[in-house]
């Protein structure tokens, strides 16, 4: 199903919640937007750190703090094994920065996705063992590393796993596992990103060191709030649901950046993306900073990204940010070619069939298939997995799903149906990765589509595009846009979208890719700027459209503008 075939519906707004939020002084529009996202009263909007879910409720978190404190007391060699995406990079960075600030010389290792694959494998354990490692901390990975942890135990190396991915039926025999999604964990925020999990572990470590009077001896106690900009970046870049706990972490991080208190690496990345830190938003992390950071892990080595985030000064961070920016340009070129090939292939595919989409090309880049799957999923609104060739005649797949179909569960069902097809897999409801042998692709495609089709039958899959109603013609669009900017939007807590019939007064093409418009809400009404990105087709005089309300920061007076999603 393409975007043009999807229904447009208004979100339901609970009346009592809307009234309660309006009484808190919110504008009627923001009150209805928040009520439609499940916010019942103003107390849920309190983003102070005291409102974070208590670390005591995160299973094994206190134990992890004790394990790390013991390692520090015993002068053990600690090494971090990170994932190669923005979440893993930020999780590694906050750990490195914290430990170095308290005088601990910690090393890190990032698996290269092309050489080592994902997670703590036995091969990686053998590599880090040569560094006389006593304790391995995994960040944003490890929950599926059964054999890797076993190898570490053979070598006498302790392993602390910090992860947030869904576990399989068997857990690694690690010294300690901190993961809100592991069995019997009562922590209320199951949506913590990997960086969020590690942030909690650092809170526990600081508490344990404080109890042992470590800081009295060192005459210094690090301020964990200084790491919140990195926590916010990793949380948004990993597209985890923005529940109340994540909203607090992100809001606190953004607030620090807006006041000029930020990590040099983030400052350099914002600067090179031409984003003003004083008005930075969560979406800037998702669409400007995150992709530049992720480009390192997709094309080369995420060590470049981590070094940028742990740089001591803006000069060094800027050098590294420029390299990341160049990699991102290269990534976009590769992605564009792959997307063009995929869409050409899909021209002959019936897109209304309630099944999945499976794509493969011998020339595709394994670091980019996740983005490709996301783009195709967005266009056709169907679960999509894209494959690229790997070594030893295997294929690496990355998938993205839609609301109502849990992708990891689909892969789990497929494995239980035929255990010979998938070599390994892991992930979330909305995203997953897997490896299969090349000769199994046809079998995989058949069974994947069959299971997805069953999911469509079992679940009520709502393909509608949801909006927050009409704004019509209001005098306060700029003030409303500023008010909307004060909130944290993200996965599961989407930025408001509105629908209206707009009169097109003028339009032109920008850079051969985007359409700039002047529109009004009525034939003789006042005009406002609008833009539709990645669109350069014909524009009718009257458009029934879905749009977001934003501020045009390009002008000094910062007027409101409409970001048109579809018409």
Least confident of 54-63, 131-140, 342-351: 342-351
What mean pLDDT do residues 247-265 have? 97
What mean pLDDT do residues 427-443 have? 92
Helices (H), 8-121: 15-23, 28-36, 61-73, 86-101
Measured in degrees and rounded to the nearest 5, phi and psi for residue 311 equal -60, 140
Least confident of 223-227, 310-314, 423-427: 423-427
Length of the chain in terms of residues written? 567
Query: What is the reported pLDDT for 4?
Result: 57
Return the top range by mean pLDDT from 95-99, 101-105, 558-562: 95-99
Query: Per-residue pLDDT for 411 more than 80?
Result: yes
Asked if residues 176 and 143 have their Cβ atoms less than 8 Å apart, the reply is no
Query: What is the reported pLDDT for 378?
Result: 86
Query: What is the reported pLDDT for 3?
Result: 55
Between 93 and 118, name the one with better pLDDT.
93
What mean pLDDT do residues 72-82 have? 97
What mean pLDDT do residues 135-157 have? 97
Could you tell me which residues are beta bridge partners of residue 176?
160
Pairing of strands 107-109, 384-389: unpaired
- Closest listed residue to residue 114, CA positions, set 374, 298, 283: 298
Asked if residues 551 and 558 have their Cβ atoms less than 8 Å apart, the reply is yes
Query: Per-residue pLDDT for 474 more than 70?
Result: no
Query: What is the reported pLDDT for 553?
Result: 79
Please, what's the b/e burial string for 485-515 (b: 16 or more CB within 10 A of its CB; e: otherwise)? bebbbbbbbbbbbbbbebbbeebeeeeeeeb
pLDDT confidence bin for 458, thresholds 50/70/90? confident
Query: What is the reported pLDDT for 344?
Result: 86
Largest Cα separation within the chain, whole Å, is 78
**What DSSP string describes 471-523?**
--S-TTHHHHHHHHHTS--BTTBPPP-EEEEEEEEEEEEETTTEEEEEEESST
The 3-state DSSP class for residue 534 equals: coil
The structure tokens listed for 178 are 């901190």
What mean pLDDT do residues 267-280 have? 95
Helices (H), 136-289: 146-154, 194-211, 214-218, 228-237, 244-258, 264-272, 282-284
The 3-state DSSP class for residue 262 equals: coil
Q: Which domains does the chain have, with CATH numbers?
A: 3-42+465-566 (2.40.50.460), 54-326 (3.90.1640.30), 349-458 (3.10.310.30)
What mean pLDDT do residues 13-38 have? 94
What mean pLDDT do residues 528-557 have? 89
Report the C-alpha gap between 237 and 235 in whole angstroms.
Answer: 6
Least confident of 91-105, 198-212, 240-254, 416-430: 416-430
What mean pLDDT do residues 392-421 have? 93
pLDDT confidence bin for 467, thresholds 50/70/90? very high
Asked if residues 264 and 123 have their Cβ atoms less than 8 Å apart, the reply is no
Quickly tell me which residue has 């209001």 as its tokens. 474
pLDDT confidence bin for 353, thresholds 50/70/90? low
Query: What is the reported pLDDT for 475?
Result: 60
- End-to-end Cα spacing for the chain: 16
Q: What is the mean pLDDT of the chain?
A: 92
């Amino acid at each position: 199903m393409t975007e043009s075939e999807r229904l447009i519906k208004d979100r339901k707004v609970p009346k009592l919640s809307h009234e309660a939020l309006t009484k808190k002084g919110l504008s009627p529009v923001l009150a209805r937007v928040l009520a439609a996202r499940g916010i019942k009263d103003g107390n849920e909007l309190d983003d102070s750190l005291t409102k974070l879910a208590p670390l005591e409720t995160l299973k094994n978190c206190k134990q992890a703090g004790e394990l790390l404190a013991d390692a520090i007391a015993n002068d053990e060699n600690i090494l971090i094994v990170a994932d190669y995406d923005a979440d893993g990079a930020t999780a590694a960075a906050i750990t490195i920065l914290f430990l170095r600030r308290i005088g601990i010389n910690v090393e890190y290792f990032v698996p290269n996705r092309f050489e080592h694959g994902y997670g703590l494998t036995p091969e990686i354990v053998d590599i880090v063992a040569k560094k006389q490692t006593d304790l391995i901390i995994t960040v944003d990975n490890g929950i599926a590393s059964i054999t890797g942890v076993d190898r570490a135990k053979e070598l006498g190396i302790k392993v602390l796993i910090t992860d947030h991915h869904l576990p399989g039926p068997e857990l690694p025999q690690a010294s300690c596992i901190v993961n809100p999604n592991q069995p019997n964990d009562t922590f209320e925020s199951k949506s913590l990103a990997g960086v969020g999990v590690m942030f909690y572990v650092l809170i526990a470590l600081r508490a344990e060191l404080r109890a042992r009077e470590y800081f009295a001896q060192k005459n210094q106690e690090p301020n964990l709030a200084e790491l919140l900009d990195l926590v916010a970046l990793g949380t948004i870049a990993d597209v985890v649901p923005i529940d109340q706990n994540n909203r607090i972490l992100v809001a606190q991080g953004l607030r620090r950046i807006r006041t000029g208190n930020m990590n040099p690496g983030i400052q350099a990345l914002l600067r090179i993306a031409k984003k003003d830190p004083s008005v930075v938003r969560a979406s800037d992390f998702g669409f400007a900073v995150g992709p530049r950071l992720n480009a390192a892990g997709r094309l080369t080595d995420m060590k470049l990204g981590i070094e940028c985030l742990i740089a001591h000064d803006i000069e060094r961070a800027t050098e590294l940010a420029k390299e990341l920016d160049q990699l991102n340009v290269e990534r976009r070129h590769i992605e564009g070619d792959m997307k063009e090939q995929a869409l050409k292939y899909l021209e002959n595919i019936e897109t209304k069939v309630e099944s999945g989409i499976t794509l493969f090309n011998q020339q595709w880049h394994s670091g980019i298939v996740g983005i490709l799957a996301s783009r195709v999923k967005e266009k056709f609104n169907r679960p999509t997995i894209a494959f690229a060739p790997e070594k030893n005649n295997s294929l690496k797949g990355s998938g993205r799903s839609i609301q109502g179909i849990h992708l990891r569960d689909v892969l789990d069902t497929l494995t239980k149906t035929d255990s010979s097809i998938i070599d390994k897999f892991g992930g979330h409801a909305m995203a997953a990765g897997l490896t299969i042998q090349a000769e199994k692709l046809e079998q995989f495609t058949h069974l994947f589509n069959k299971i997805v089709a069953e999911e469509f039958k079992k679940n009520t899959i709502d393909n509608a595009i949801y909006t927050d109603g009409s704004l019509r013609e209001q005098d306060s669009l700029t003030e409303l846009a500023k008010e909307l900017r004060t909130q944290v939007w993200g996965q599961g807590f989407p930025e408001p979208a509105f629908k209206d019939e707009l009169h097109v007064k003028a339009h032109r093409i920008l850079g051969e890719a985007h359409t700039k418009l002047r529109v009004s809400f009525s034939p003789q009404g006042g005009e406002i700027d609008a833009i539709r990105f990645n669109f350069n087709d014909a524009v009718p005089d009257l458009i029934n459209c879905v749009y977001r309300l934003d501020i045009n920061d390009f002008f000094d007076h910062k007027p409101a503008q409409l970001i048109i999603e579809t018409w």
